[in-house]
Amino acid sequence: MLVREDKVIREETTVPEQAPLREDKNRRDTTPSSDNGAVAPAFVADSPRSAPAPRRERSGNRDNRGRRDDNGNRGDRGERRNSGHQQGARPPATSAPRHDHRSHHDNRRSASESPRGESPFVERYVTEHPSKPRASFDYEGETRAITVIPRDEHNISRRDISENALKVLYRLNKSGYEAYLVGGGVRDLLLEKKPKDFDITTNATPEQVRKLFRNCRLVGRRFRLAHVMFGPEIIEVATFRGHHEQLEEEPEDKNSSQQAVNGMLLRDNIFGTIEDDAQRRDFTINSLYYGVADFTVRDYTGGLRDLENGIIRLIGDPETRYREDPVRMLRAVRFAAKLDMNISQETAQPIPQLATLLQEIPPARLFEESLKLLQAGFGYQTYLKLREYHLFQPLFPLIARQFTDEGDSPMERILLQVLKNTDLRIQNDQRVNPAFLFAAMLWYPVIEHAQKLAQEGGLTYYDAFSLAMNDVLDEQCRTLAIPKRITTLVRDIWALQLRLSRRQGKRAHKLMEHPKFRAAFDLLALRADVEQHRELQSLTEWWSEFQEATPASQKNMLGTLGDDAAPRSRTRTRRPRKRAPRKDGGQ
47-65 per-position pLDDT tens digit: 333 344 334 344 444 444 3
Distance (Å) of CA 527 to CA 251, 410, 532: 56, 8, 8
568 inside domain: no
Do 397 and 301 reside in the same domain of the chain? no
Do 248 and 362 reside in the same domain of the chain? no
Do 305 and 377 reside in the same domain of the chain? no
Predicted local confidence at residue 212, as pLDDT: 95
Predicted local confidence at residue 271, as pLDDT: 83
183 inside domain: yes
Active site residue 282: yes
Q: How far apart are CA 107 and CA 79, in angstroms?
A: 11
Do 134 and 216 reside in the same domain of the chain? yes
Catalytic residue among 100, 277, 282, 299: 282
Asked whether the beta carbons of 202 and 179 are under 8 A apart, the reply is: yes
Do 356 and 276 reside in the same domain of the chain? no
Do 252 and 388 reside in the same domain of the chain? no
Looking at residue 141, the DSSP 8-state letter turns out to be S
pLDDT for 84-127, tens place per residue? Answer: 434 334 344 433 444 444 444 444 434 434 333 333 333 333 33
Phi, psi of 319 (to 5 degrees): -65, -40
105 inside domain: no
Do 378 and 508 reside in the same domain of the chain? yes
Residue 525 neighbours by CB under 8 Å, 6+ apart: 540, 544
Continuous H helices in 349-478: 351-354, 363-374, 379-388, 392-395, 397-400, 410-427, 434-441, 443-457, 461-476
- The dihedral over CA atoms of 491, 496, 497, 498, expressed in degrees to the nearest 10, equals 110
Residues lower than pLDDT 50 in the chain: 1, 4-143, 246-251, 254-255, 261, 563-571, 586-587
228 inside domain: yes
Active site residue 197: yes
DSSP class per residue in 542-576:
HHHHHHHS-HHHHHHHHHT--GGGSPPP-PPPPPP
Phi, psi of 259 (to 5 degrees): -125, 135
Full residue range of the structural domain in which residue 447 is found: 351-559
158 inside domain: yes
Asked whether the beta carbons of 186 and 212 are under 8 A apart, the reply is: no
Active site residue 584: no
Predicted local confidence at residue 573, as pLDDT: 53
Do 300 and 444 reside in the same domain of the chain? no
Do 270 and 398 reside in the same domain of the chain? no
Catalytic residue among 63, 100, 199, 277: 199
Do 294 and 415 reside in the same domain of the chain? no
Count of Cβ atoms closer than 10 Å to residue 312 Cβ: 24
Residue after which a domain boundary falls, among 309, 340, 375: 309
122 inside domain: yes
pLDDT for 344-392, tens place per residue? Answer: 999 999 999 999 999 999 999 999 999 999 999 999 999 999 999 999 9
587 inside domain: no
Asked whether the beta carbons of 125 and 9 are under 8 A apart, the reply is: yes
Strand-pairing partners, residue 500, are none
Residue after which a domain boundary falls, among 309, 333, 368: 309
- In this prediction the pTM is 0.70
CATH code (residue 393): 1.10.3090.10
Catalytic residue among 160, 197, 325, 463: 197
Q: How far apart are CA 338 and CA 278, in angstroms?
A: 23
CATH code (residue 191): 3.30.460.10
Residue after which a domain boundary falls, among 309, 343, 378: 309
Phi, psi of 129 (to 5 degrees): -115, 130
Predicted local confidence at residue 268, as pLDDT: 57
Asked whether the beta carbons of 469 and 446 are under 8 A apart, the reply is: yes
Residue 279 CB burial class (10 angstroms; 0-12, 13-18, ≥19): buried
Do 528 and 409 reside in the same domain of the chain? yes
Do 180 and 121 reside in the same domain of the chain? yes
Phi, psi of 342 (to 5 degrees): -110, 140
125 inside domain: yes
Q: How many domains does the chain have?
A: 2
Predicted local confidence at residue 562, as pLDDT: 62
Element (H, E) at 9: strand 9-11
Continuous H helices in 22-158: 58-71, 75-85, 104-113, 121-124
